[in-house]
Amino acid sequence: MLTVGVDIGGTKIGAGVVDPDGELLASTKHPTDPTDPAEIEAAVVSAVSELRESYDVTAVGVAAAGYVSPQRDGMVFAPNIAWRDYPLRDRLVGGIDLPIVIENDANAAGWAEFRFGAGRDVDHMVMLTVGTGLGGAVIFDGTLLRGAFGAAGEFGHMEMVPHGHFCGCGQEGCWEMYASGRALTRAARAAVVAQPDRSEGIVQAAGGPDKKVKGTHVTAAAEVGDPLATELLDELGRWLGKGISDLAAVVDPQLAVVGGGVVAAGDLLLDPARDAFRRHLTARGFRGELRIEPAEMGNEAGMIGAADLART
Amino acid sequence: MLTVGVDIGGTKIGAGVVDPDGELLASTKHPTDPTDPAEIEAAVVSAVSELRESYDVTAVGVAAAGYVSPQRDGMVFAPNIAWRDYPLRDRLVGGIDLPIVIENDANAAGWAEFRFGAGRDVDHMVMLTVGTGLGGAVIFDGTLLRGAFGAAGEFGHMEMVPHGHFCGCGQEGCWEMYASGRALTRAARAAVVAQPDRSEGIVQAAGGPDKKVKGTHVTAAAEVGDPLATELLDELGRWLGKGISDLAAVVDPQLAVVGGGVVAAGDLLLDPARDAFRRHLTARGFRGELRIEPAEMGNEAGMIGAADLART
Amino acid sequence: MLTVGVDIGGTKIGAGVVDPDGELLASTKHPTDPTDPAEIEAAVVSAVSELRESYDVTAVGVAAAGYVSPQRDGMVFAPNIAWRDYPLRDRLVGGIDLPIVIENDANAAGWAEFRFGAGRDVDHMVMLTVGTGLGGAVIFDGTLLRGAFGAAGEFGHMEMVPHGHFCGCGQEGCWEMYASGRALTRAARAAVVAQPDRSEGIVQAAGGPDKKVKGTHVTAAAEVGDPLATELLDELGRWLGKGISDLAAVVDPQLAVVGGGVVAAGDLLLDPARDAFRRHLTARGFRGELRIEPAEMGNEAGMIGAADLART
Amino acid sequence: MLTVGVDIGGTKIGAGVVDPDGELLASTKHPTDPTDPAEIEAAVVSAVSELRESYDVTAVGVAAAGYVSPQRDGMVFAPNIAWRDYPLRDRLVGGIDLPIVIENDANAAGWAEFRFGAGRDVDHMVMLTVGTGLGGAVIFDGTLLRGAFGAAGEFGHMEMVPHGHFCGCGQEGCWEMYASGRALTRAARAAVVAQPDRSEGIVQAAGGPDKKVKGTHVTAAAEVGDPLATELLDELGRWLGKGISDLAAVVDPQLAVVGGGVVAAGDLLLDPARDAFRRHLTARGFRGELRIEPAEMGNEAGMIGAADLART
């Protein structure tokens, strides 16, 4: 029994045929304009049709950033696309005519890791997707925890710092502003201003002083041992670990899987996260401790997870 | 089918016979010495025997403060009693000879509220027990979420303030240090020092300047309109609501039930909590919002919840 | 004995003839391009010449935003103009041929208030200029405290919040990011996102939902009683008062004069500042307390102060 | 011209004869009961008399912890002795019959360092006395800055952390609670609870697990390379340096002298302070930077400074 998973991103949609073992049998991509919901829908319909020419599929899972309705049939709010209480399933069903399930993209990625990736051997896990922002998912006793209003796993908006950095959500101090690609970029730019004598490595990685520093430049500089870059990843890792200790106090998982683009930094990020987690964990030494591990499913996690969730 | 619930507190144990509807048919109390585990066990055995003289019971649930083992057969760590990896069930079973289940006291109280009290009509809830400390429980889709290591629902140790108040757990800034009876007492004592010109009402409620101010004195003064006392409860309520917005970002419940001694302050506490919750909730207006309601089961919640958990 | 004061702003320079009583006898303004230091210098020279056609002056004081050299002859760093270790006096003296003194603009404004304005009756005061940013000055025992490196009175960069809002200086949590016109603007924009149901008054003051909200719109809305706007000014005032209590712990002045554009909000800003000051003041009731008062010298304070400092 | 300096401490008074070069010619100590102001006064009178038997002195300076009146004739508030608006000079003058000047103890110590110790070559300095608490002094252009109400240099009560550790003054987050001997002791005790696996070195330095850990044990353990102890001193040093960067933003001194018992840790404390200072300093690289140096005058600084201030 095959299903299709669709991942609606900011500038493109990806779709793929997935088998029950999480294997991606075929996939396709279409560029899209995030300001044009109708174009996005047309691209989804077209991608699914294209895949169905070669594969017999029974259902479609659609992953997107934002708050998904509890009934999994629409988007109540999306940060990047003009969806507000938007009946996405109804808009797609005419062109697809298969069962369709909508899911939050971080939830879908978390589910893929749980079923086929880093979490395949555990029962209770959390997933943290450290991309531009910080997405999350909670899987408890084999079940994806969606929440009463479809908003569980929105860890990125836990407040880490009272009166801290402004978040796009209108709040201050959200975890996402301390543990995400955007956070790394902003911290790096601030460091270039505040510590000009230490920032040459990062500036060079960015291509020179007239270029805008990004998080990826920090990772590149850290990989060749630049002290400031290493420090910045260390700081990011520490915020990550600290927040994971908060999650341990709420849902107490066995495993925290860290995915998203920033995880390319590997143990330069995860070791400080592990260390900070342990330092902040209450009753350490008297209670079991979760592991913090990198994601294994890569960029296809959202697509594969959505496909698998459509199956069940 | 009747069961016994036992609630092991700091200075006494309580035990009661509970029916499947959560009715407490009979109960008894014994003073105990928290430094003497053997005495506590003897008291539990004796209380259960006493109740069994008149009632036919099939199981015993024991609630206590601390981290319970995932197998629900022992205490891995307790803050007030010298239990470390302690096989409490094995120590009791000789004298009781019935199935025994150990549960965290806040989990037991949360379960009682879920089954018979403020949460009886919802599927997803969190419980906050604002007593001396801040205990918690998560119930998701009708199931008490215990966590991979038996430590779910330990909200009180989420970090609210980086470098904030020292907690007995050795960490800084734990939620419990801002939203608990102990927090109220400390804030009141600090206010008496820092704002002597505004603290007369609280000092009088405490019985005069030579008496130690406690949280209960703040509540008493606030109930007759004392401005500083009202402010202190307001502040406590705001920390409560702020943390609940963090819980909404993780587990997204329909309802947060607030119990424990401090909830005697009623809406003087809960209204500021509701207000702060709404102010800190990301995507407010676009997503469903939980309700914050007082607990209904009173001091017997732990006993009744433990009894009910022993049944299942 | 008359002197000229020049105030170099972001988009224009102002210059005026000032008598020993702080009276502004004549003034002139020239628009300037902040990216062109040569144009700025030409404008200063031209303005001084123009004024000297009608008045006999003996010295020139020049106020500008940034770090002034301890010798008061140049700018070591400016936030808005491309001055780095810049010998401003040498660049001007050829065209002016009078004694020239360079001074930080907030220091100049503070000095004007001390000599002729809100501080004329005190010996020890601090000045806070709450404009786009937060500038400051310390006057102690009748002397303007410049500091060992010309950087005293840069209060705006005291850290108020560990890991707080990013400042243009590259640090986090600077006071300026919580108590300035920019802070008010950002807080208002965040509130519009986070509390859409309460922000209608501010949005209307800004001219509608398609307009960018600014601090002045908040003040306008607060003046007609809008609750959210009042709250935002209250919050700004509280950060102001809190920081003033820190200044009291360092230099212990009699008076804090608050000037700059935001002070147009009057007691809507200053009353919360006074209240927060008192709440945060250590040993309150046992020690003397400074007053917090609005500036009296208006926009000409920098010009008048610079002219007077050139005299001495 | 010789003078006597008296240092009134918590459990004893010290007095010494000091010459104009800051040499201590003779000294004496008397134990005292802090709860008995009359006994303290008798001890001061007696000590001064004793010294005058051998030396001809012209004035007496008295240093004590607390807020000194602006007229330097009394204590408006003391933390450890029951002085509230207390006319200390009047109480002593009958038994002494010489000019008497009262001074805050940290101010006196700072003055001694400025005149004869680490600050003898600078014009602008701050002194930080890191003892049980955190005392301070500001010397500007050769003058001890006392403040409008005698409370300048009370740095220890600047707020470093909103909602941070409770201070004895009734406020939260005072610098003193992060950078003092008491802070070190509390942080060490918390670390022993939170990180039992890393605290053996500190526990051994304290004499075993049944002993109370103190700050001095941390220093002892750090001196033999214990990682946790080193970390704790590092953290203390960072708070120190961070606060010094705030002082640089207000009074911009050339030099920060660090004295008090904790400075025994030497560069284990001061190197992290220097590093944190630089990281937090706005406009670093464009402005002059103060040095952070250890005090040189030792425990007699208060006595010597008080004697010297009595001279002028």
What is the Cα–Cα distance from C247 to C252, expressed in whole angstroms?
7
Cβ separation B197–C279 shorter than 8 A: no
When CB atoms are compared, the residue of B162, B194, B282 closest to C284 is: B194
Per-residue pLDDT, C81: 87
Taking the CA of residue C91 and the nearest CA in chain B, the distance in Å comes to 49
Residue D116 lies in a domain: no
Cβ separation C250–D253 shorter than 8 A: no
Taking the CA of residue C278 and the nearest CA in chain B, the distance in Å comes to 9
Chain B residue numbers with beta carbons less than 8 Å from the beta carbon of A160 are 159, 162
Cβ separation C170–A162 shorter than 8 A: no
Residue with tokens 């307790």: B78
Question: Are residue A47 and residue A190 in the same domain, yes or no?
Answer: no
**What is the sign of the dihedral through the CA atoms of D36, D42, D48 and D51?**
negative
| CA-to-CA separations, B62 to B66, B153, C4, in angstroms, rounded | 12, 18, 84
Question: Are residue A96 and residue A127 in the same domain, yes or no?
Answer: no
What is the Cα–Cα distance from C92 to C98, expressed in whole angstroms?
10
When CB atoms are compared, the residue of B162, B169, B186 closest to D193 is: B169
E strands along chain D, which residues?
2-8, 12-18, 24-31, 57-64, 67-68, 75-77, 84-86, 100-104, 125-130, 134-140, 143-144, 255-259, 291-294
Chain C residue numbers with beta carbons less than 8 Å from the beta carbon of D142 are none
Question: Are residue A270 and residue A228 in the same domain, yes or no?
Answer: yes
* B234 contact partners, CB below 8 Å, separation of at least 6: B268, B272
Question: Are residue C139 and residue C86 in the same domain, yes or no?
Answer: no
* D104 contact partners, CB below 8 Å, separation of at least 6: D63, D64, D65, D66, D67, D68, D135, D137, D150, D153
**What is the sign of the dihedral through the CA atoms of D195, D201, D205 and D208?**
positive
Dump pLDDT digits (tens) for D142-194: 999 999 999 999 999 999 999 999 999 999 999 999 999 999 999 999 999 99
Cβ separation C195–B162 shorter than 8 A: no
Chain B residue numbers with beta carbons less than 8 Å from the beta carbon of D182 are none
Confidence of residue A179 (pLDDT cuts 50, 70, 90): very high
* C280 contact partners, CB below 8 Å, separation of at least 6: C241, C242, C245, C246, D159, D171
Check whether C312 has a pLDDT greater than 80.
no
- How much of chain D exceeds pLDDT 70, in percent? 100
Question: Are residue B285 and residue B136 in the same domain, yes or no?
Answer: yes
Residue A116 lies in a domain: no
* Among D residues 164-223, those touching chain A with beta carbons less than 8 Å apart: 194-197
| Residues D75, D66 contacting (CB under 8 angstroms) | yes
What is the Cα–Cα distance from D107 to D144, expressed in whole angstroms?
8
Per-residue pLDDT, B79: 81
Residue A151 half-sphere exposure toward CB, CA atoms < 13 A: 25
Check whether B312 has a pLDDT greater than 80.
no
Here the CATH number for the domain that contains residue C60 is 3.30.420.40
Cβ separation A159–B250 shorter than 8 A: no
Domain region containing C231: 122-295
Cβ separation A163–D163 shorter than 8 A: no
Per-residue pLDDT, B161: 98
Question: Are residue A127 and residue A35 in the same domain, yes or no?
Answer: no
Put simply, whether B162 touches C (Cβ < 8 Å) is: yes
Chain B residue numbers with beta carbons less than 8 Å from the beta carbon of D161 are 161-164
What is the Cα–Cα distance from B46 to C18, expressed in whole angstroms?
93
Question: Are residue B228 and residue B84 in the same domain, yes or no?
Answer: no
Dump pLDDT digits (tens) for A107-117: 999 999 999 99
Dump pLDDT digits (tens) for A37-91: 999 999 999 999 999 999 999 999 999 999 999 999 999 988 888 898 999 999 9
Does an H or E element contain B104, and which? strand B100-104
Length of chain C: 312
Taking the CA of residue C37 and the nearest CA in chain A, the distance in Å comes to 21
What is the Cα–Cα distance from B226 to B249, expressed in whole angstroms?
35
Residue with tokens 């569980």: A152
Question: Are residue B166 and residue B17 in the same domain, yes or no?
Answer: no
Question: Are residue D150 and residue D215 in the same domain, yes or no?
Answer: yes
| CA-to-CA separations, D294 to C297, D128, D130, in angstroms, rounded | 44, 10, 11
What is the Cα–Cα distance from C205 to C219, expressed in whole angstroms?
9
More confident position, D269 or B11: D269
Dump pLDDT digits (tens) for C248-292: 999 999 999 999 999 999 999 999 999 999 999 998 888 899 999
Q: Find the angle CA(A295)-CA(A300)-CA(A303) to the nearest 5 degrees.
A: 120
Question: What's the rounded mean pLDDT across residues B176-202?
Answer: 95
What is the Cα–Cα distance from C166 to A165, expressed in whole angstroms?
7
Confidence of residue C188 (pLDDT cuts 50, 70, 90): very high
- Radius of gyration, alpha carbons of chain B: 20
Question: Are residue A127 and residue A45 in the same domain, yes or no?
Answer: no
Residue with tokens 């419940």: B253
Residue C117 lies in a domain: no
What is the Cα–Cα distance from D143 to D124, expressed in whole angstroms?
9
Question: Are residue C180 and residue C279 in the same domain, yes or no?
Answer: yes
Residue B236 lies in a domain: yes
Tokens for B223, please give them.
């109930």
D100-104 vs D125-130, strand pairing mode: unpaired
Question: What's the rounded mean pLDDT across residues A134-150?
Answer: 95
Cβ separation B155–A249 shorter than 8 A: yes
> If you measure CA to CA, which chain D residue comes closest to B239?
D163
Per-residue pLDDT, C79: 81
Question: What's the rounded mean pLDDT across residues A17-37?
Answer: 95
Chain B residue numbers with beta carbons less than 8 Å from the beta carbon of A67 are 283, 286-287
Structurally, how many domains does chain B consist of? Answer: 2
Cβ separation B160–A158 shorter than 8 A: no
ipTM for the predicted complex: 0.95
User: Of A84, A159, A161, A198, which to mutate for an interface test with C (greatest number of C Cβ within 10 Å)?
Assistant: A161
Length of chain D: 312
Residue D293: helix, strand or coil by DSSP?
strand
B291-294 vs C2-8, strand pairing mode: unpaired
- Any idea what DSSP says for residue B43? H
- Any idea what DSSP says for residue D299? G
DSSP D199-263: -HHHHHHHTSTTSPP-HHHHHHHHHTT-HHHHHHHHHHHHHHHHHHHHHHHHT--SEEEEESGGG
Confidence of residue B81 (pLDDT cuts 50, 70, 90): confident
Assign residue C255 a region: left if phi > 0, alpha if psi is -120 to 50, beta otherwise? beta
Residue with tokens 């409370």: D151
Check whether D312 has a pLDDT greater than 80.
no
Question: What's the rounded mean pLDDT across residues A271-279?
Answer: 97
D255-259 vs D125-130, strand pairing mode: parallel
Confidence of residue C82 (pLDDT cuts 50, 70, 90): confident
Check whether A124 has a pLDDT greater than 80.
yes
* Among B residues 119-158, those touching chain D with beta carbons less than 8 Å apart: none
Dump pLDDT digits (tens) for B43-77: 999 999 999 999 999 999 999 999 999 999 999 98
Put simply, whether B21 touches C (Cβ < 8 Å) is: no
Question: Are residue C267 and residue C307 in the same domain, yes or no?
Answer: no
> If you measure CA to CA, which chain A residue comes closest to C195?
A170
| Residues A223, A266 contacting (CB under 8 angstroms) | no
Residue B116 lies in a domain: no
Buried b (16+ CB within 10 A) or exposed e, D193-219: bbbeebbebbbbbbeeeeeebbbbbbb
Chain D residue numbers with beta carbons less than 8 Å from the beta carbon of C76 are 286-287
Taking the CA of residue B248 and the nearest CA in chain A, the distance in Å comes to 7
E strands along chain C, which residues?
2-8, 12-18, 24-31, 57-64, 67-68, 75-77, 84-86, 100-104, 125-130, 134-140, 143-144, 255-259, 291-294
Tokens for B298, please give them.
């009173």
Per-residue pLDDT, C78: 87
Put simply, whether D279 touches A (Cβ < 8 Å) is: yes
